[in-house]
């Protein structure tokens, strides 16, 4: 842990984000204390309050988490920029596709009623409403490693669905006030600013990968001015595309196209209009999961071969692994029971810091090119995602919509995670530092 803090200058990044010492304990020590709790199997109460050797009390940590002027977004973005550009990018070829991945998960607070901006949110996996937030996340992937870049906990924009409103009076110029304003905004209005902020960090990314929940032509058109989009499409009668001079639904288009014979995994592709003279390619994939006969993936890069569209979209799986790990291992929604909205943002940022630490550690343990210049020259680059692997991932994502198969995909993710977690626990318990040269 000490090596990670030093290698990526966490203290300097905290200072640049306005996370500075006001009085008492230094922010770096407070951050490190919270950071280590998940790896030690403790929370603030058992790891700090009941720990007689702790260097601070629990009230100090809670004050640290809820301070509204700390810019946690800048801290996470700056850390991701350093880690990606100085550690991950030198390990991958320039021609290899780096992507941004966007998705939303449920931040569950079912046992709470007094949490600021708490609302009723719909969980598609459990097919019911829960108390909590929708956590919108933007991350970066090179096909081997995933790094979270930005996140926004969202409450319901409808007042009738909100259990609690804003309970903290703040100066409108503070980070806390801006965070609360974002939380009340529709998710589709926040996506383009998130993407622009990420690209403004000079992080290399050619495509934005999204789930079917964001596949609206108006949103895709706005995003493609900044970055190419590859997304799964929802088969609905409410969304139409221009094809052969007609406005057709996805099902109607599939019936009209010429399909590949036999048991080909990719059934066919077609160019369609998505409004305002903008074109996109739709690739249809055979599906034998969840009762659907086919799946459709859209790409705004119309020159991209069909196989490449599917292969690149398969990298979206990395964000599903992040969500599973963040909730089940890194204690995203179970470690602290805070009521202040700023504390929720701060704690979720620290969870993402834990994941970045694990991503770096996993890459060091599996990629010989991290050992130094000699190994950079003599070792092969880690293999990129293949088309076959991408198809397996895409079909596995359909499991999230099928409750009786959900445990299968969950078990696959858990097996991937456990290898990394065991190594991280060994590292934390031994006190070893990270040594990485790129």
The pLDDT of residue 233 is above 50: yes
The pLDDT of residue 290 is above 60: no
Q: pLDDT band for 264, please (50, 70, 90 cuts).
A: confident
Evaluate whether 203 touches 84 at the Cβ level (below 8 Å): yes
Distance, CA of 99 to CA of 145 (rounded, Å): 11
| Other C-beta atoms lying within 10 Å of the C-beta of residue 308 | 17
pTM of the model: 0.86
Q: Per the CATH hierarchy, to which homologous superfamily does domain 2-430 belong?
A: Transposase Inhibitor Protein From Tn5; Chain A, domain 1 (3.90.350.10)
The pLDDT of residue 124 is above 90: no
Tokens of 129: 């409403």
| Other C-beta atoms lying within 10 Å of the C-beta of residue 68 | 20
DSSP per-residue letters across 271-307: EEE-STT-EEEEEEEE--STT-SEEEEEES-TTS-HH
Distance, CA of 123 to CA of 112 (rounded, Å): 17
Handedness of CA 143, 144, 146, 147 (dihedral sign): negative
Between 202 and 422, where is the model more confident? 202
Evaluate whether 389 touches 33 at the Cβ level (below 8 Å): no
Lowest mean pLDDT across 9-13, 206-210, 424-428:
424-428
pLDDT at 34: 93
Q: pLDDT band for 21, please (50, 70, 90 cuts).
A: confident
Distance, CA of 193 to CA of 189 (rounded, Å): 8
pLDDT, mean over the chain = 86
Domain boundaries, the chain: 2-430
Per-residue pLDDT, averaged over 269-277, amounts to 96
The pLDDT of residue 420 is above 90: no
Tokens of 221: 């058109």
Q: Considering only CA atoms, which of 45, 50, 80 is closest in space to residue 61?
A: 45
Between 401 and 315, where is the model more confident? 315
């Amino acid at each position: 842990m000490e090596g990670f803090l030093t290698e990526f200058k966490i203290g300097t990044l905290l200072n640049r984000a306005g996370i500075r010492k006001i009085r008492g304990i230094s922010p770096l020590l407070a951050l490190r204390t919270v950071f280590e709790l998940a790896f030690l199997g403790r929370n603030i109460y058992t790891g700090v309050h009941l720990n007689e050797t702790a260097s601070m009390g629990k009230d100090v940590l809670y004050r640290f988490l809820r301070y509204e002027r700390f810019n946690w977004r800048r801290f996470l973005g700056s850390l991701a920029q350093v880690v990606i550009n100085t550690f991950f990018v030198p390990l991958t070829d320039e021609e290899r596709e780096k992507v941004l991945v966007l998705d939303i998960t449920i931040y569950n607070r079912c046992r709470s009623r007094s949490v600021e901006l708490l609302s009723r949110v719909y969980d598609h996996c459990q097919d019911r409403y829960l108390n909590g937030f929708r956590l919108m996340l933007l991350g970066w992937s090179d096909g081997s490693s995933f790094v979270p870049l930005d996140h926004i906990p969202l409450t319901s924009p409808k007042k009738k669905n909100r259990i609690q409103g804003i309970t903290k009076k703040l100066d409108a110029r503070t980070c806390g006030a801006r965070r609360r304003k974002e939380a009340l905004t529709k998710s589709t209005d926040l996506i383009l600013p998130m993407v622009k902020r990420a690209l403004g960090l000079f992080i290399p990314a050619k495509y934005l990968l999204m789930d079917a929940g964001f596949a609206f032509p108006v949103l895709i058109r706005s995003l493609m001015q900044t970055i190419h989009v590859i997304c799964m499409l929802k088969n609905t009668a409410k969304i139409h595309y221009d094809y052969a001079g007609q406005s057709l639904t996805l099902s109607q288009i599939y019936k009209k196209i010429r399909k590949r014979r036999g048991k080909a995994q990719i059934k066919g592709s077609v160019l369609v209009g998505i409004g305002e003279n903008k074109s996109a390619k739709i690739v249809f994939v055979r599906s034998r999961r969840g009762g659907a006969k086919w799946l459709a993936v859209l790409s705004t890069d119309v020159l991209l071969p069909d196989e490449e569209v599917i292969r690149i979209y398969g990298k979206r799986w990395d964000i599903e692994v992040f969500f599973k790990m963040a909730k089940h291992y890194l204690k995203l929604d179970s470690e602290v029971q805070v009521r202040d909205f700023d504390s929720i943002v701060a704690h979720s940022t620290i969870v993402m810091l834990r994941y970045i630490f694990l991503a770096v550690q996993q890459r060091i343990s599996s990629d010989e090119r991290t050992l130094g210049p000699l190994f950079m020259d003599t070792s092969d680059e880690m293999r990129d995602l293949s088309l076959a692997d991408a198809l397996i991932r895409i079909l596995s994502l359909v499991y999230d919509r099928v409750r009786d198969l959900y445990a299968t995909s969950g078990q696959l993710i858990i097996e991937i995670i456990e290898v990394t977690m065991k190594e991280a626990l060994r590292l934390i318990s031994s006190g070893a530092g990270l040594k990485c040269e790129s």
